[in-house]
Structure 1
Amino acid sequence: MRKILVVGAGQSGLQLALGLQSHGYEVTLMSNRTADEIRSGRVMSTQCMFHTALQHERDLQINFWESQAPRIEGLGVSVAAPGSFDPGPSQRAIDWVGRLDGYAQSVDQRVKMAGWTETFAQRGGQLVVHGAAVGDLDYFSRAYDLVLVSAGKGELVSMFERDAERSPYSEPQRALAVAYVHGLGPRPEHPEFDAVRCNIVPGVGELFVMPTYTLSGRADILFWEGVPGGPLDAFQGVKDPAEHLALTLDLMKTFLPWEYARATRVELTDAGGTLAGRYAPTVRKPIGRLPGGGLVLGVADVVVANDPITGQGSNSAAKCAAAYLASILERGDQPFDEEWMGQTFDRYWNTARHVTKWTNAMLAPPPEHVLNLLGAAGQLQPVADRFANGFDDPADFENFFFDPAKSEAYLGEVAAAGSAA
């Protein structure tokens, strides 16, 4: 029986630990918090997981909250008209919703990670509740066939060298502010199904509104992404959750009155329902070297940390865990050496590179052909649907999003098909 140490109990670490456990590996999981501490703590993220990522959870039979979480069937985009902040639909230069081929879901990571941690322990896994330093791993690495590092913050990340070629940004590109709320009213457009809403205020930032399942049941996430130094970059130093929510709503009232109109009665889900911060999107080299000569393999956002503007964090973590699990199973009893580690990361990067390219593009001001594409989606439903489904399979953006000629050709095809019909 091969012994594997997983450091970090987030989406990727826990999914990998549970997957390896189900295949008979002897797995030790290091978490810096107990399940109860996770459950009673502050929200850790926004997360909207699309079909492929959800399927990885179903494959391992760890989709425990699927029947309770809202089914998100669409993804809508609104772009505020420049210079006009009067209430009403005239304020939106673009407004549409695309339908997803398979529904998406969001489960508060406090619920999921606490539940998965308990499941791992109940199934006989060794759970070590302890923050890990590089020195600890140096000691542990001698006792394990493989050490996987999936703790995306803190000292351990410094073991993994920044990949400058794949990391165009050295500074944070957005200031992030999250509030989990009860009491949000439905959008008057398409109230019959749940959708994630992406509201773009050009030059200022974005507000995402997504249905979720939290400790107290159904809720919604209000998530501002502000251009640093701009009017949305206002949450630094705000410690009081009530003040955080008031500021969130005040900014909605100013910049996105159509979203504010349904938020006049919201309240925080709980005292831990807010989060603010920022980080620079970074790709790192996948192999970390320990002082004693041992090697560790980085997982998910330890090695590929994208800005959450495209909602890919938990999706990428699930896909990384699935790819690594497959590579470990295929390895059999051969050594998990440096060459294998490199190949295992490359297998994941083959998916992740599309996410990174698309996310970094979305952080920059949109070029004319992308504005044309977003505008056309309001008139041509197939364009809206394809854009929405790109969140599940970002590789598809290569076919119609980045290149102006491909984009123009695609819009021409859809328009011609529409007029022929």
Structure 2
Amino acid sequence: MSSTNRSVAIIGAGQTGISAAVGFLNAGFDVTVYSDRDQAGLFRDVSATGTAVTFGLSQESEAALGVDTFAGRAPQVTGISARTITGSGHDYTELLDFDADFPGFEAIGVDTRLKVDERITQFQDKGGTFLVEEVDPDRLDTIAGQHDLTLVATGKGGLSTLFSVDEARSPYKSPQRSVLLLTVEGLDHGPDVFAHRSAAGGKHQAFNFADQGEGWWGPYLHKDAGPSWSFLGWAQPGSEWERRFQSVTDAHSAHKVVIDLHREYFDWDLPEVLRTRVIAEDPHSWLQGAVTPTVRNALGHTASGHRITALGDTAVAYDPITGQGAQSGFIQAAGLVAAAKDHQGEFDDVWITETYNKFLTSRVDAANLATRIFLRDPVFADYASVLFPAAATNPKFGAALFGLLSDPSPVLSINSVDDAKSLITAVAGEDADSILAKFAPVGRFSRSELDALASAI
């Protein structure tokens, strides 16, 4: 039941849109969600749009919106193990190896379809209106004229073109990686899994960096299989990896690509990978594609001049290497709900712009910079060449480096290599040059001793 006498329309029922809808409903607004698929179709007939891993601050935003964070339900993730190789072809050097606990938070990876399904039910049980229809620009014009606030959360395509690109915050004109996502079962989360990388075993994510791209494994809660693992691979444009990723046509071919990648590049993890199997009941357990990182201006107008506001991926599309997409959407949604609840006037151009600018400066600018550093953007290569060796050498700084996945704001202090060293010194309590002087290439990583399946796959 509305207590504000104000109405909100949300176009798009992805995890950010439906989570914002619950938040606005809890704040006393009359809320209508428009979706191009019904609830069953969103659960059964689409791929998960990502691993949807959330960390400390984004989980706090989910809680503020009044939606379940899945803490205690999804596999517990307490840290991350990172390994880096470098070299041409398959002649590479095993360079960097470190394992770090997350500083003061845990990560949670949940199937976006499961989150959306539960939140649609919650939204409707609380009295929200859920309408199934395609919304084109003409229909959006009508909807925006009927509501006090209209949010567009349809993702990176479609209606996102109604919002102009913030060129200053969008340095890329093409994707920086091709991405392959695959969720699998057959591997548990016990202490023997990835034990060669971490004493925490299956409670830590596993991240591998190579010249052609990156590969990541994370504990996951799948909508059908329950506790499982999710793989994300990133391929450099024009690389052999990219050609492999683009050859994928189904979950089984994706699984073969992932296995072959580990046989040839990351053999230390191969026994774990060979234990995995495709989730047979879910033909949509994989996804292949690419994202051009883009920041758009949140304020837009329909043909008749009605205001619309970009939300989630419609507003900011990140490369997923640092998991900022899902997190950023929840943080933006929570900020919008809090600002709207306390606002007494019209949701005019000034209010929309000021609210969004706070989000840009408090989250997006830092999240984009952290993502570019993890992508090893040549512009920031000198920073990465200092930060990652320091993380491998000093456990305290290693934890802080991956703490950036939750709160990336410390990177805003870095404008030079000296700034990066100052951050290392401040976090570690030891001079950065002293820390870096201790760094030496690993030489050879420890290999998994987990019993593998017969390699007939």
- Taking structure 1 as the reference length, the TM-score comes to 0.93
Q: How far apart, CA to CA, are the structure 2 residues paired with 1:111 and 1:359?
A: 26
Mark the CA change 1:369 to 1:335 in structure 2 (over 3 Å): closer, same or farther.
closer
Q: How far apart, CA to CA, are the structure 2 residues paired with 1:85 and 1:61?
A: 49
2:394 maps to amino acid: L
Q: How far apart, CA to CA, are the structure 2 residues paired with 1:360 and 1:417?
A: 25
Aligned-partner SS, 2:71: coil
What is aligned with 1:392?
Answer: 406
1:280 and 2:289 aligned: no
Q: State the shift of 1:170 in Å.
A: 0.5
What is aligned with 2:453?
Answer: none
What is aligned with 1:255?
Answer: 265
The 5 A counterparts of 1:56-71 are 56-63=61-68, 65-71=70-76
Q: How far apart, CA to CA, are the structure 1 residues paired with 2:226 and 2:144?
A: 41
Q: State the shift of 1:97 in Å.
A: 1.6
Q: State the shift of 1:134 in Å.
A: 0.7
1:172 and 2:175 aligned: yes
Match of 2:200 among 192, 200, 205: 192
Contact kept in structure 2, 1:20 and 1:325, CA below 8 Å:
yes
Farther off after superposition, 272-281 or 257-266: 257-266
Q: State the shift of 1:80 in Å.
A: 1.3
1:261 maps to amino acid: P
Q: State the shift of 1:64 in Å.
A: 5.9
Q: State the shift of 1:91 in Å.
A: 5.3
1:5 and 2:9 aligned: yes
Q: State the shift of 1:353 in Å.
A: 1.1
2:31 maps to amino acid: V
Match of 1:409 among 385, 408, 422: 422
Aligned-partner SS, 1:82: strand
Q: State the shift of 1:152 in Å.
A: 1.2
What is aligned with 1:304?
Answer: 316
Q: State the shift of 1:83 in Å.
A: 4.7
Mark the CA change 1:124 to 1:369 in structure 2 (over 3 Å): closer, same or farther.
closer
Residues 330-364 of structure 1, C-alpha deviation per residue, up to 9 Å, x if partnerless? 212x1111111111111211211111122233331
Residues 214-273 of structure 1, C-alpha deviation per residue, up to 9 Å, x if partnerless? 122101111111011101112225322211211121112212112223111211223211
Mark the CA change 1:411 to 1:61 in structure 2 (over 3 Å): closer, same or farther.
closer
What is aligned with 1:208?
Answer: 216
Match of 1:232 among 241, 246, 249: 241
Residues 380-401 of structure 1, C-alpha deviation per residue, up to 9 Å, x if partnerless? 11110110111110001234x5
The 5 A counterparts of 1:103-182 are 103-182=106-185
Q: State the shift of 1:171 in Å.
A: 0.6
Match of 1:45 among 13, 35, 50: 50
Q: How far apart, CA to CA, are the structure 2 residues paired with 1:153 and 1:85?
A: 35
Q: State the shift of 1:113 in Å.
A: 0.6
Contact kept in structure 2, 1:78 and 1:96, CA below 8 Å:
yes
Contact kept in structure 2, 1:183 and 1:263, CA below 8 Å:
no
What is aligned with 1:294?
Answer: 306
Residues 151-193 of structure 1, C-alpha deviation per residue, up to 9 Å, x if partnerless? 1143311101112121110111100100001123611232535
What is aligned with 1:28?
Answer: 32
What is aligned with 1:353?
Answer: 365
1:336 and 2:361 aligned: no
Aligned-partner SS, 1:29: strand
Aligned-partner SS, 1:221: strand
Residues 27-80 of structure 1, C-alpha deviation per residue, up to 9 Å, x if partnerless? 000112222112213222122100111112223442163222011110222101
Contact kept in structure 2, 1:224 and 1:232, CA below 8 Å:
no
2:372 maps to amino acid: N
Q: How far apart, CA to CA, are the structure 2 residues paired with 1:17 and 1:133?
A: 20
Aligned-partner SS, 1:416: coil
Q: State the shift of 1:402 in Å.
A: 4.9
Mark the CA change 1:368 to 1:24 in structure 2 (over 3 Å): closer, same or farther.
closer
1:131 maps to amino acid: E
1:217 maps to amino acid: G
Residues 81-116 of structure 1, C-alpha deviation per residue, up to 9 Å, x if partnerless? 425858xxx953111122111111011001101111
Mark the CA change 1:327 to 1:295 in structure 2 (over 3 Å): closer, same or farther.
same
Q: How far apart, CA to CA, are the structure 1 residues paired with 2:232 and 2:96?
A: 20
Q: How far apart, CA to CA, are the structure 2 residues paired with 1:315 and 1:199?
A: 22
1:344 maps to amino acid: T
How many pairs align? 414
Contact kept in structure 1, 2:27 and 2:337, CA below 8 Å:
no
Mark the CA change 1:315 to 1:377 in structure 2 (over 3 Å): closer, same or farther.
same
1:299 maps to amino acid: L
Match of 2:20 among 4, 16, 36: 16
Contact kept in structure 2, 1:75 and 1:97, CA below 8 Å:
yes
What is aligned with 2:452?
Answer: none
Q: How far apart, CA to CA, are the structure 1 residues paired with 2:143 and 2:422?
A: 56
Q: How far apart, CA to CA, are the structure 1 residues paired with 2:95 and 2:65?
A: 43
Q: How far apart, CA to CA, are the structure 1 residues paired with 2:216 and 2:55?
A: 15
Aligned-partner SS, 1:367: helix
What is aligned with 1:241?
Answer: 251
Contact kept in structure 1, 2:20 and 2:65, CA below 8 Å:
no
User: What runs of 5+ residues in structure 1 fail to find an aligned partner?
Assistant: none
Mark the CA change 1:24 to 1:409 in structure 2 (over 3 Å): closer, same or farther.
closer
Q: How far apart, CA to CA, are the structure 2 residues paired with 1:289 and 1:59?
A: 29
Q: How far apart, CA to CA, are the structure 2 residues paired with 1:33 and 1:246?
A: 31
1:218 and 2:232 aligned: no
